[in-house]
A and B are shown apart, each in its own frame.
Chain A
Amino acid sequence: VAPDAKLSEWITGLAGKIPVWDEIMSFLCNDFFIPVVICLILPALWFWFSDPKKRERYQWAVMVTPSGIGFSGLFVWILNHVFNVDPWPRPWQALDNAREAAELLFYGPIDPSFPSNPAAMAFAAAAGIWFVNRKLAAFVCLLAILWSLARVYCGAHYPLDIVAGAAIGIFVACLTRAFFRVIAPIPTLFLSILRRLYLA
């Protein structure tokens, strides 16, 4: 059992007490809602700015951010499947309150709990956007926090899973940005091809 199992037991014990709150948490912990909202920001940023120089800076960020999201997902997958990092079962598999919360509000995911893949990807998105627009990044960070909290509330993750996932996401996003600086001629070429096609 995870070291923070008692905290998880307490948090998931709140489920089923306030129906409106449960509805909100059930909606927020969904696999699609917050990721799609975050990902919709990216095509918007691609086209948003009238000034070509500013637009190009943001288009770079739009290339870096999903790459960071993808690499952080890959990092978690490698940890789980290559290095077999899977220290504890999901809260809903180990704790009574969490099982009830998952049955009531969500479903029982069966892939490894640690580290949280959703937290890694959402915080990677926030970190990727942070390099170009801090206010927008703060908004994405808020979405990432809400998604993470909801997943703890619904018995899908322990808080420790979330913290580890967030750290991985931020770290990998920073690495991805550095990597893009090294391979800068490739994305530059990609952008110039898109520009010839009137898409960038």
Chain B
Amino acid sequence: MPIMADFRLDYFLMVLIATTGILQIAASQAGFKGLSLFRKPTIDRIFGLLAIIAGFWFFYGTENRNVRSLEGSGQFAFYLAGVAAAVFLTLVVSSFVNFGLRGRLEREDRGLEALKKTNYLRALFRSFLKREDGER
């Protein structure tokens, strides 16, 4: 079933690319510097918008998509996979891009709040090290 496999892959990639775009727009909107791929929020938003357009263009511009293909459950599963991959990719890439972002985290900087001051992997490692210190 190579055609179906291509269809699934294309759908997955569309969701991945478009979600990466929407995450960048949301990150710049909320001020999560640790999640942004660019320093300037305007560039982040332009990149996000272009990624969304590119995702849909890639899926719809290449083939006729009005064909019997994925059922509802399959569609949902591939959508979830695409979103999870986009979140993972954004967290990893933004952590490397913002490697130098190392703001001091206060007690109230819990959860996503921390990503306004530092990058994701640094926040995660810091909380892990803190827990290790606490255990000692």
Contacts and interface: CB of A to CB of B under 8 A. Distances in A.
- Is B truly associated with A? yes
B110 A43 contact: no
Interface of B: 11, 14-15, 18-19, 22-23, 25-27, 29-32, 35, 52, 56, 59-60, 65-70, 72, 75-76, 79, 83, 86-87, 110-116, 120, 123-124, 127
Interface stretch (A13-21, A28-36, A81-89, A138-146): A28-36
Given A43-B19, A52-B111, A30 B66 contact: yes
A8 interface: no
Interface of A: 26-27, 29-33, 35-36, 39-40, 43-50, 52, 55, 70, 73, 105-110, 117, 121, 194-200
Given A43-B83, A70-B76, 7 more contacts: A36-B56, A40-B18, A47-B35, A52-B112, A106-B66, A109-B68, A198-B112
A44 B115 contact: no
A189 to B, nearest CB: 14
A199 B111 contact: yes
Contacts of B15: 36
Contacts of B75: 31-32, 35
Contacts of B11: 32
A200 to B, nearest CB: 5
**Most chain A Cβ neighbours within 10 Å, of B65, B66, B87, B110:** B66
Interface of A, secondary structure class, is helix
Contacts of A32: 11, 14, 59, 65, 75
Contacts, number: 98
A29 B67 CA distance: 11
Contacts of B14: 32, 36
A-B residue pairs, 7 tightest by C-beta:
A195-B111, A47-B26, A50-B30, A44-B22, A44-B26, A48-B26, A198-B123
26 contacts: A30-B60, A32-B11, A32-B14, A32-B65, A36-B14, A36-B15, A39-B79, A39-B83, A40-B22, A43-B19, A43-B26, A43-B86, A44-B22, A44-B23, A46-B26, A47-B23, A47-B29, A47-B30, A47-B35, A50-B116, A52-B113, A195-B110, A196-B127, A198-B112, A198-B114, A199-B111
Contact of A198 (B26, B27, B66, B111): B111
B25 to A, nearest CB: 7
Contact of B115 (A27, A29, A198): A198
Contacts of B115: 198
Contacts of A48: 26, 29-30
Contacts of B69: 31
A49 B111 CA distance: 13
A79 B30 CA distance: 42
A200 B87 CA distance: 12
Nearest to A77: B72
B22 A43 contact: yes
B111 A47 contact: no
Contacts of B25: 44
